[in-house]
Amino acid sequence: MIVTTAQLFQEAYGRYAVGAYNINNMEQALGLFQGHIEAQAPFIIQLSKGARKYANARVLEAIIRAVESEYPEAIFAVHLDHGDEQTCYDCIDSGFYSSVMIDASHETFAENVAITRRVVERAHAKGISVESELGMLGGVEEDIKVDEKHAMLTDPDEAQAFVEASGCDSLAVAIGTSHGAYKFAGSQGLHFDRIEAIQAALPGFPLVMHGSSSVPQSEVQRINAAGGALNPNAKGVDDSQFGRAAKLGVTKVNIDTDGRLVWTRVHREFFRDHPEGFDFRTPGKEYVKAYADFIVDKSRKLGSAGHLEEVRAAVM
């Protein structure tokens, strides 16, 4: 059952975070549903502009609808990740998406408010939720490159003013994370003092944490042992901190990179161990299982595991 992110957040806020996963293909869709049914967790499917271009937006929609028909008990939102204004309108008009993200965080505050306001009006007219972003994450974000040293944490007072003026339903905040595999050096990590200050300025309002992959050392090492050349210093978010962040209002946690690492590890190891192999269905099947296991583990760390029936009762 497709629900809005606002419906999911109403149940989750302050108790647990809902995992939001980027997918690009059939194997990821299968693993995502399997894992969430096993974990009995609600979830958010995120489709980026890149994914919509890679797999074709209609093909992605057909895959998700087909996989849902195999797992009719699943409860999830379909969300556009890092949309521009036109892509938001395309998704709102498609009748498939229950949530969109307008990312105008690179614009001035006033322009970000104005663009978000326009998207909110069109989305809310159709009962669709809107996520917006304020502040700048480090790293690479779609086609916008933000230099690490210019990454700006979200200002709590600005966040409060932004939400009030734009009418968005959730806000992506810059709290120390960045996209990709190389997030932190040394002892850097989440800025809990900033999350607390934003929650104090916006009590009860769902916050979104982008760039939340954990980049497990074990995955990086296995990929490199199987012929990869990832930077061994790659470091992500400590997922044992998801619970603390959730209590402070972080209600949506975005994960893409970790899923890519699972794919890369499974396929590199398979072809290393079977150099004669060329039937991609064998590692493909293994990947679906490995991605589903990964989802079960993440759902437990996010605290969303076991909440499926409670969410069903609330949204029915």
Residues of this chain that bind ligand G3H (CB under 6 A): 22, 48, 50-51, 81-82, 141-142, 179, 256
Does residue 179 have a known ligand-binding role? yes
How many other CB atoms sit within 10 Å of the CB of residue 288? 21
Which of these segments, 203-211, 227-235, 269-277, 297-305, binds Zn ion (CB under 5 A)? 203-211
253 in helix, strand or coil? strand
Smallest gap from Cβ 314 to ligand G3H, in A, equals 29
Does residue 212 have a known ligand-binding role? yes
Smallest gap from Cβ 61 to ligand G3H, in A, equals 16
Asked whether position 210 contacts Zn ion by CB under 5 A, the answer is yes
Asked whether position 169 contacts ligand 13P by CB under 6 A, the answer is no
End-to-end Cα distance, the chain? 10
Q: Is 81 a catalytic residue?
A: yes
Hey, which residues between 252 and 271 contact ligand 13P (CB under 6 A)? 254-258
**CB of 21 or CB of 287, closer to ligand G3H:** 21
Asked whether position 28 contacts ligand 13P by CB under 6 A, the answer is no
d(CA 93, CA 251): 26
Which position has the token pair 């979830």? 43
Alpha helices for the chain (secondary structure H): 5-12, 26-39, 49-55, 57-70, 85-94, 109-124, 156-166, 192-201, 217-225, 242-247, 257-273, 281-302, 308-315
Q: Tell me the helix, strand and coil percentages in the chain, rounded to 5.
A: 50, 15, 35
300 in helix, strand or coil? helix
Tokens of 50: 């890149």
Q: Among 7, 166, 213, 251, which residue interacts with ligand 13P (rule: CB under 6 A)?
A: 213
**CB of 179 or CB of 235, closer to ligand 13P:** 179
Question: Considering CB distances under 5 to 8 angstroms, the limit depending on partner class, which of ligand G3H, Zn ion, ligand 13P, none binds residue 212?
Answer: ligand 13P
Backbone phi, psi, residue 308, to 5°:
-60, -50
Smallest gap from Cβ 278 to ligand G3H, in A, equals 27
Which of these segments, 143-151, 185-193, 208-216, 223-231, binds Zn ion (CB under 5 A)? 208-216
| Paired residues of 133 in beta bridges | 172
User: Is there a contact between 46 and 68 (Cβ–Cβ < 8 Å)?
Assistant: no
Smallest gap from Cβ 254 to Zn ion, in A, equals 5
**Footprint of Zn ion on this chain (CB under 5 A)?**
210
Annotated binding site: 82, 103, 133, 179-180, 210-213, 254-257
Residues known to be catalytic: 81
